[in-house]
Amino acid sequence: MEHHRPRHLTAVLLAVLALGACLMVLPLVWMLLTSLKTFPEILRNPPAWLPAVPRWENYRTVWEGFAYYRFFLNSVFVAVMVIAGTVLTCCPAAYAFAYYEVKHKELLFAALLSTLMLPAQVTVIPLFKAYAAMGWVNTYLPLVVPAWLGGNVFGIFLLRQFFRTIPKSFIEAARLDGASEWTILWRLIVPMSLPAVMTVVLFTFLWSWNDLFNPLVYLHNEATYTLPVGLLYFIARAEQLTGGSAGLVPWHLVMALATVMVLPVIILFVAAQRRFVEGVTASGVKG
C-alpha cells in the first residue's frame, strides 16, 4: 500500500523550503538594489531597501569607465580554456580508472583522491617558484595548464563514478565491432554520460570564474586581471571612484560589478539545472 504524506506536513515542508529559498536569495536582491543606488543613498542610516530612482548608468560607468569589459573577457578566456582542458583530460582518465584492469588500480585511484586533501596554500610557494623559473608568472599559463594535465581530480572522480554505472556489455560490443578505445570513449561513453560531463563543466566554470587566489598570485598586470581580482582593484581605487572621499568604498559600483559577475553563473546553472541534478545523483549510484 502506497504511503501518502499528510497534507499539513507537506505544507510545513514547503513553507520551510520557501523560507530557506528567500533567505538564500535575499543577499542577491540586496546586491542588485544597491547597484542601482547613488553613493549618498548607500551612506544613508538607516539604509533604504529601494533606490529613489534606479540608476542603470552605474553599470555603464563600470563597463566603460573602468575597463570592466577587459576583466570580463579575461575571465571568459580563462574559464573556456580550463573547461576544455578539464573535459579533454578528465574523460580519458576516468575511463581508464572505470574500465581498465591494471595492477594496483584501486591504490592508484586512492592516491589520486588523497591529493584532494592537500590545501592549495601548501603548494603555492613551490609552484610559484617553478612557474617563475619557466617564465609563466604574469601569464595565464599557471591558471590553464594544470587543467590540461589532468589536474581536476574531483572531475576525474565524478566521471569515473558515472562511467561505472554504464554496463560493460556496451563497451565489449563496441570492441567486437572493431571500435577503438578512443572511439568508444568519445562516441559511446561520453554521449551516454552527458549529465556527469555537464556537472563537471558547471563545477569547473564556477571554480575558474570565482577563483581569486590563483589570479591574485600569478597575475600582476592590470591588463590580465580576471573579474575577482578586478573587483579588488575597484575597491582599492575607492578614493578615485568616490571623487576624493578618502576611505569610502563606492559600494554602488562594486555591487554593479558583482551583479554582472554573478549573472553568468546564474544563467548557466538555470540552463543546466536538470543535467546537473542528474549528474550529481547518478554519480553516487555505484562506488
* Range of the structural domain that residue 235 is part of: 65-282
Q: Is residue 192 in some structural domain?
A: yes
Q: Is residue 136 in some structural domain?
A: yes
| Cα–Cα dist 14/19, whole Å | 9
The alpha carbon of residue 116 and the mean position of all alpha carbons in its chain are separated, in whole angstroms, by 17
36: nearest Cα among 266, 264, 256, 263: 256
Query: 15-72 pLDDT, tens per residue?
Result: 898 998 888 888 889 888 998 988 888 888 888 888 888 888 888 887 776 777 888 8
Q: Is residue 252 in some structural domain?
A: yes
Where does the pLDDT of residue 95 fall: very low under 50, low under 70, confident under 90, or very high at 90 and above?
A: very high
The alpha carbon of residue 164 and the mean position of all alpha carbons in its chain are separated, in whole angstroms, by 25
* CB 209, CB 191: distance < 8 Å: no
Question: Domain tally for the chain?
Answer: 1
Q: 230 is written with which cell numbers?
A: 578586478
The torsion region of residue 53 among left (phi > 0), alpha (psi -120 to 50) and beta comes to beta
Q: Is residue 123 in some structural domain?
A: yes
What pTM was estimated for this model as a whole?
A: 0.82
Q: Is residue 39 in some structural domain?
A: no
Q: Is residue 260 in some structural domain?
A: yes
> One-letter amino acid identity for 2?
E
276: nearest Cα among 205, 212, 222: 205
Q: Is residue 11 in some structural domain?
A: no
Q: What is the CATH number of the domain that holds 241?
A: 1.10.3720.10
Q: Is residue 56 in some structural domain?
A: no
Where does the pLDDT of residue 244 fall: very low under 50, low under 70, confident under 90, or very high at 90 and above?
A: very low
- Direct distance between the N- and C-terminal alpha carbons of the chain, in angstroms, rounded to an integer: 32
Query: 133-181 pLDDT, tens per residue?
Result: 999 999 999 999 999 998 899 999 999 988 998 888 888 899 888 889 9
> One-letter amino acid identity for 278?
E
